[in-house]
Amino acid sequence: MLKIAVLRDSAPWDQGQTDCIQALVSSPNTCVACVFEVREAAVSTSLQWFRRAARRMDKSVRAASGMEGLPAASLVSEEELAAALSPFAPDAILDLRSGDGSRALAELARFGLWRLRYGYGKAAGGAAEFVFRLLLGSDPAGCVSLVRIGRTAERDLILKRGYISSYGSGFGEKLAELYRFCRSWPASVCKELSITGKLPGAEADSLPETGYGRGGPAPTVLQALRLAALLGYRKVARQLSAWFIVEQWNVGLIRRPIDAVLRDRDEPVVEWLPERSGFVADPFAVKLDEGIGIVAEEWDHVERKGKISFLKLDHDLRIDDAVRWQQAVLELPLHLSYPCIVHAEGQLYCIPECYQAGEAAIYRSENFPNEWKKMKVLIPNFQAVDPTVFRHDGLWWLFCTNQEEGPHSHLHIWYSDELLGEWKPHPANPVKMDVRSSRPAGTPFAVGGELFRPAQDCSGTYGGAVWINRIERLTTTEFREAPVRRLSPDRSGPYPDGLHTLSFAGEVTLVDAKRERLALGVFARRASVKLVRKIRRTYRKGAGAIGSIP
């Protein structure tokens, strides 16, 4: 068990600190040896003002549970730290302070001094300053790293790295999202260290870098006013969009094999299916004797729930007004989407997304496409988003993100010898944290002996584009991939606002894309449904009150 010493500012506790320490306390691989509060170094008046304002918007909390009785000392100075830490002989020191401390502390622990760094560059800044610049900036994502600090900057080692979306309509909301984004990283590194016996190292990023968190002057009052105006505008826009704007997704057909889509530099020509009143998305292809079957999510804008529908195209792949979807071939009381199709031992299986059930389950086709039997829960007690199952190097693999941590950013992997056997989590989970290229966007495929994985780019909007990543290393202890091709929606086409699934069957590739449209009819139906529900709640409360009168 690894002994961890924790350093924090003498300022009030914030949610990020308590969540991070709680993850360490709860981990069977770690023991929190001590928590030291260190006097904050003198900072400028403007930075003091900003941090006080940020704390008012943050959710101040008490110390993490399970920490009672831990050796701790308040208001330790930087000079006293080395002497205070030495008796505990920690394996690692986790520094949760806003500013840079002494690099000499790295010599006191076997696995060094760990620090969360917000943005690129060597200058450190606090979480609040990072969120401020993230929201006010123009780049779609910002970088966060867990770094082992070396004696010099050149010897720093990135243990974990992730990218969080810059979009948000509230400072407190984005700060809470940031805390959720990286709260488990120190505990995750300790788990991986206990299994492999060595510190992980994040690969150099191959997507364009952003510059958030390089340090610099404290936010000014004028910048704060600009941000307040921007967030106010975003909040109003989001509320209006929730009532009047709908995303209209549709499925399209590319008459090219998926390896050609990967290889071609030009954007592919897409033929779109007839549009429906709701929408269809997440298409997966099934080769049939009569042609090609498409299994996809069908969404109702009013019920706000998805089900799995089916469409059959003949050998000529004719797309005309006669094409008809067969509705609800698989439906549950909960939302269903992303019906990942898998062939194994002569059987056809479907692993749909149903994160609301807190599981990833597999269904076997008993009479395709209308009858499905639930065979097994592959991943229990986990809110799996877009679970994608495939076979590679003699093992079955399941890739997904986690709704609780962040559906667009935290990539998790499981593996198994048998499709219906026992599934084990990858020791490095989450293996990747990148809002730009983590969330699955279709089944991985092999070209020229190399394995490629489609992933969604959700940095600017949900399902904004698809990155095709080359998987460079996939074992039961390691994972590494690099982006090689980006597929963007056709800005001059009928669905210019997003693209988030790529699947294939022989010489045909399927995609989906969206446009955002004004839907007054949907607004009227949503308003009427909401009004009916409110009347029912009021009636029930009234009936209960009447029934309680003696």
Does residue 58 surpass a pLDDT of 70?
A: no
- Among the residue ranges 63-72, 244-253, 371-380, the one predicted with the least confidence is 63-72
Q: Where are the domains of the chain?
A: 2-219, 246-524
pLDDT digit string, tens, across residues 291-314? 899 999 999 877 789 999 999 998
- Alpha-carbon dihedral sign for residues 25, 28, 33, 37: negative
Cβ atoms of 468 and 481 closer than 8 Å? no
Contacts of 171 (CB under 8 A, 6+ apart): 54, 57, 131, 132, 135, 227, 231
Collapse the DSSP code of 506 into the 3-class scheme (helix H, G, I; strand E, B; otherwise coil) and give the result: coil
- Alpha-carbon dihedral sign for residues 393, 396, 399, 404: negative
Within 13 A of 468's CA, how many CA atoms are on the CB side?
22
> How confident is the model over 379-383, as a mean pLDDT?
97
Single out the residue of 313, 373, 315 nearest to residue 348, CA to CA: 373
Q: Read off φ and ψ for residue 484, nearest 5 degrees.
A: -125, -20
Neighbours of 83 (CB within 10 A): 9
Report percent pLDDT > 70 for the chain.
85
Does residue 468 surpass a pLDDT of 60?
A: yes
Q: Which residue has the higher pLDDT, 315 or 489?
A: 489
Neighbours of 418 (CB within 10 A): 11
Q: Percentage helix, strand, coil, to 5, in the chain? A: 25, 40, 35
**The whole model's pTM is what?**
0.86
Query: What are the distances in angstroms from CA 523 to CA 139, 221, 236, 305, 526?
Result: 32, 39, 16, 16, 5
Give pLDDT, residue 209: 47
Residue 214 confidence class, pLDDT cut points 50, 70, 90? very low
Contacts of 419 (CB under 8 A, 6+ apart): 342, 344, 349, 362, 389, 396
- Among the residue ranges 125-134, 255-264, 352-361, 397-406, the one predicted with the least confidence is 125-134
Is 2-219's fold the same as 246-524's?
no
pLDDT digit string, tens, across residues 502-534? 999 889 999 999 999 887 766 676 677 677 777
Task: Report the interhelical angle of 221-244 vs 520-547 (nearest 10°).
Answer: 90
Collapse the DSSP code of 250 into the 3-class scheme (helix H, G, I; strand E, B; otherwise coil) and give the result: strand
The residue to which tokens 């770094």 are assigned: 147
Single out the residue of 11, 226, 139 nearest to residue 436, CA to CA: 139
Q: How confident is the prediction for the chain on average, in pLDDT?
A: 86
- Looking at the structure, give the CATH architecture of the domain made up of residues 246-524: 5 Propeller (2.115)
- Longest CA–CA separation in the chain, Å: 80
- Among the residue ranges 46-55, 123-132, 472-481, the one predicted with the least confidence is 46-55
Question: Which of 3.40.50.11890, 3.40.50.920, 3.10.310.30, 3.40.50.12230 would CATH assign to domain 2-219?
Answer: 3.40.50.12230
